[in-house]
Amino acid sequence: MMNKPKIFSVRFLLVVLFLIVSLSLSCNRGRTSNPDALDADTSYAFGMWMANQMSSMGLMDISYDYDAFTRGFRDFNEAQETRITPDRAMELISAAVMRIQAQDEEREWLEGELNREQGEAFMAVNRERSGVITTASGLQYEIISQGAGRRPGPADTVRVHYEGTLIDGTVFDSSYRRGQPVEFPLNGVIAGWTEGLQLMNEGSTFRFVIPSELAYGTRGAGSIPPNSTLIFDVELIAVVD
């Protein structure tokens, strides 16, 4: 359902970054003084564009020595002697990218551990509530309204309305808000849905509390952080023939 930001390899990042810099600078190389230089706003716009391209590659929230950054930009752009070789420049960039990726992975792991602990605490309290049933897998559900139609099998396609929230109440997805139910095969969704929908009769509405291992796990998905426990209100409209 949700997509996750791409994680690019260091080699890919370096190649694309080199192409961006080369293409954006090549038109002015060798000109130490150019009366036809771009105006201040357009030059500023190029700086914004380069920063945006780097951000789109995963190089976000980097603090630079802007004096050195500008000098390196100018020396290369004007074909002056640079204080480091291109090979050394790539080595430094590669080391920085690897360090940034390692820091991002550590932050993601710490966030995931916190989410896991909070999710387990939430489910421990929730299982004590009247009407909440916990299955052998750890899925929790309660019946909001009980229908009388048929139940789907593990390979059936269903039509549902639903709303999904994090345990803090943040809505991350809702067919109700889009005003359109969705159809999908039960063998093509997260394990908590595959199991939970088979407990429902057509016309029922259930609330599921799904532990992260039955949802999107350590990677998360889209706006869903890693190791998130998820809450879904699901209305089973029909089993689709």
Active site residue 173: yes
3-state secondary structure of 68: helix
Q: How many CA atoms lie within 13 A of 141 on its CB side?
A: 23
Scan for tokens 């209305």, then name that residue: 235
CA 157 – CA 241 distance, rounded (Å): 7
How many other CB atoms are there within 10 angstroms of residue 52's CB atom? 10
Catalytic residue among 122, 162, 206, 208: 162
Catalytic residue among 122, 206, 208, 232: 232
Active site residue 162: yes
E strand intervals along 59-204: 133-134, 140-145, 157-166, 171-174, 182-185
Residue count (the chain): 241
Active site residue 176: no
CA 190 – CA 104 distance, rounded (Å): 26
Catalytic residue among 18, 73, 76, 172: 172
Active site residue 64: no
CA 139 – CA 28 distance, rounded (Å): 62
CB of 79 closer than 8 Å to CB of 30: yes
Catalytic residue among 122, 141, 173, 224: 173
Catalytic residue among 216, 224, 231, 237: 216
Would you state the structure tokens that stand for residue 203, as one six-digit string?
Answer: 């016309």
Catalytic residue among 20, 143, 167, 190: 190
Active site residue 232: yes
- Residues known to be catalytic: 162, 172-173, 190, 216, 232
